C-alpha cells in the first residue's frame, strides 16, 4: 500500500497544510499516468459490513490536481476555462458523466481539442475521492459532501456513499441501481486511508464482470470472416493471454485495434485454467483516457 502519491507521477504533494489536505504544488510530467486506486471484483458471498457503497457510473475517470484536469492515462482534458474555474483548489478524483447509456457521447466530447461548450454545460464531475487527504474514507466522503455543498455548482456532484448491513441489502441496492439504468456498485472500506493501486479496500460489483487488456496480436478469421480479423490476442493486467473474438464490429474486423491498444472486455466467471470465460470486447479505449 502507498499512503501518498509517488513523485514519479504527474503531481508533487507538498507538506503545506490547509483544511486538512495536502495541496498540489507542481505538475512535473504532462503525460505521466497518475497513480490511482483501482477496484477489484467483489467476492460474491462477502458481507458489505465495514464498507461504504456507492453507484458505479459509466463515465470517464478524471483527476483534478488544482490546476489541470487529467485523464486516467495522464493526458490533459481540454476542458473549457469556465469549467475549470468552477472547480475548487483541492485535488479531486471522480467521473465525468453525462447520463445513463451515454459513455460514447462523453468519450467523443472529451476527445475534442476544441471544447464543445454546449456539451460541457451538460457534463457532471461526480467526485468520489480526495487524493492525498488524511483520515479514513468515511471522513473523506464527508469532506467531499461539504466541499460540493460549499461550491454550490450543479455540475460538481458528490457521489453518495451509504453503509449496508448485509448481503441482502447489497443485492437490493444493486437491483435498484440496475433497474434505474445504472451499471453496478462500488464498495470502499470505510476505515481505509488514502492508498493507490489495486488493493483490498475498493471493489466493484456488476452483473457482468469487466476488465482491461492490451492488444498483442490479431488472428485471421474463418468462414464468414475469411479475409478479416477473427479475434484479438490480448494480455490482461495480470499477464494472462487470451483471445477476444466476440464483440468486434465488422468495421473493427476490417481495421482492428492496433497492437498496443487498450481495450475493455466483459466476462462471466473463469475457466479451470483461470482465464476469463465468455470474454467479449466492450470498447476500444482512446489513447490517454
| Final residue of a structural domain among 162, 186, 205 | 205
Is residue 75 assigned to a domain?
A: yes
How many structural domains is the chain composed of?
Answer: 2
Give me the CATH number covering residue 260. 2.40.50.140
pTM attached to this predicted model: 0.72
| Cα–Cα distance for residue pair 190/261, rounded to 1 Å | 35
Question: Angle at the Cα of 94 (from 74 to 107), degrees rounded to 5?
Answer: 65
Shared-domain flag, residues 260 and 181: no
Element (H, E) at 105: helix 103-111
**Shared domain check, 185 and 214:** no
The reply to whether 78 and 190 lie within a common domain is yes
157, 179, 205 — which closes off a domain? 205
156 found inside a domain: yes
Cell numbers for 187, please give them. Answer: 464498495
Same domain assignment for residues 117 and 221: no
Q: Which domain holds residue 70?
A: 11-205
- Tens digit of pLDDT at every position of the chain (289 positions): 433 333 233 333 322 223 333 333 333 344 578 889 999 989 878 999 999 999 999 899 999 999 999 998 889 999 999 999 999 999 999 999 999 989 889 999 998 888 999 999 999 999 999 999 999 999 999 999 999 999 999 999 999 999 999 999 999 999 999 999 898 999 999 999 999 998 999 999 988 878 899 999 999 998 888 899 999 999 998 899 999 999 999 999 999 999 999 999 988 777 778 888 889 998 898 766 6
Q: CA distances (Å), 247 to each of 39, 43, 230, in order?
A: 24, 26, 11
Catalytic residues: 56
Q: Are residues 35 and 112 in the same domain?
A: yes
Torsions phi, psi of 207, nearest 5? -65, -30
Amino acid at each position: 500500500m502507498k499512503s501518498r502519491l509517488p513523485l514519479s507521477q504527474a503531481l508533487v504533494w507538498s507538506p503545506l497544510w490547509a483544511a486538512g489536505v495536502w495541496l498540489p504544488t507542481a505538475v512535473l510530467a504532462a503525460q505521466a499516468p497518475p497513480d490511482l486506486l483501482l477496484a477489484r471484483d467483489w467476492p460474491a458471498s462477502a458481507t458489505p459490513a465495514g464498507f461504504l457503497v456507492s453507484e458505479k457510473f459509466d463515465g470517464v475517470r478524471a483527476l483534478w490536481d488544482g490546476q489541470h484536469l487529467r485523464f486516467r492515462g495522464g493526458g490533459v482534458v481540454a476542458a473549457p476555462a469556465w469549467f475549470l474555474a468552477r472547480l475548487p483548489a483541492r485535488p479531486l478524483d471522480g467521473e465525468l458523466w453525462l447520463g445513463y447509456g451515454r459513455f460514447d457521447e462523453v468519450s467523443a466530447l472529451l476527445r475534442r481539442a476544441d471544447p464543445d461548450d454546449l456539451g460541457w454545460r451538460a457534463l457532471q464531475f461526480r467526485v468520489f475521492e480526495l487524493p492525498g487527504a488524511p483520515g479514513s474514507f468515511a471522513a473523506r466522503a464527508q469532506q467531499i459532501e461539504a466541499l460540493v455543498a460549499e461550491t454550490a455548482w450543479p455540475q460538481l456532484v458528490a457521489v453518495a456513499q451509504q453503509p449496508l448491513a448485509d448481503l441482502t441489502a447489497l443485492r437490493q441496492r444493486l437491483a435498484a441501481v440496475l433497474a434505474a439504468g445504472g451499471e453496478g456498485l462500488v464498495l470502499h472500506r470505510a476505515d481505509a486511508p488514502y492508498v493507490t493501486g489495486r488493493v483490498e479496500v475498493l471493489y466493484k460489483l456488476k452483473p457482468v464482470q469487466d476488465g482491461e487488456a492490451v492488444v498483442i496480436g490479431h488472428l485471421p478469421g474463418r468462414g464468414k470472416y475469411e479475409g478479416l480479423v477473427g479475434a484479438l490476442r490480448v494480455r490482461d493486467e495480470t499477464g494472462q493471454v487470451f483471445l477476444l473474438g466476440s464483440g468486434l464490429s465488422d468495421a473493427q474486423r476490417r481495421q482492428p485495434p492496433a497492437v498496443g491498444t487498450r481495450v475493455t472486455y466483459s466476462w462471466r466467471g473463469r475457466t479451470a485454467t483461470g482465464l476469463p470465460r465468455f470474454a467479449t470486447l466492450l470498447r476500444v479505449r482512446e489513447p490517454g483516457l
